[in-house]
Amino acid sequence: MEHLNYTHIILVYLVAINVATFFTYGLDKWKAKKDKWRIRETALLTLAVLGGSIGAWLGMKAWHHKTMHKKFKYGIPLILLVQIAAVVLLLS
């Protein structure tokens, strides 16, 4: 039963961080179009590292944002692959 609680907490966290990351990428794209104050690239990458890599990747695709920046174009998929490998290792 205790394992189920941890699994539930982790699942809720991952959904929340990915939704937040997705919309943060959209907000930054909107700010870029409106010539407003921008969200730092380090903040966008940190959200991905903290578990929001799926949201970052989907945000890049949906908002067409940061797709030409090499650290995002290659970094986000790499972060995602590392996180998937970590989950596979933890579950095996």
Residue 81: what pLDDT?
A: 97
- pTM for this model (two decimals): 0.90
How many other CB atoms are there within 10 angstroms of residue 20's CB atom?
14
The parts of the chain modelled with pLDDT lower than 50 are none
Residue 1: what pLDDT?
A: 53
Which amino acid, residue 39?
I
Number of domains in the chain: 1
Task: Give the structural domain span for 50.
Answer: 2-91
The torsion angle over the Cα atoms of residues 55, 34, 73 and 77, rounded to 10 degrees, is -10
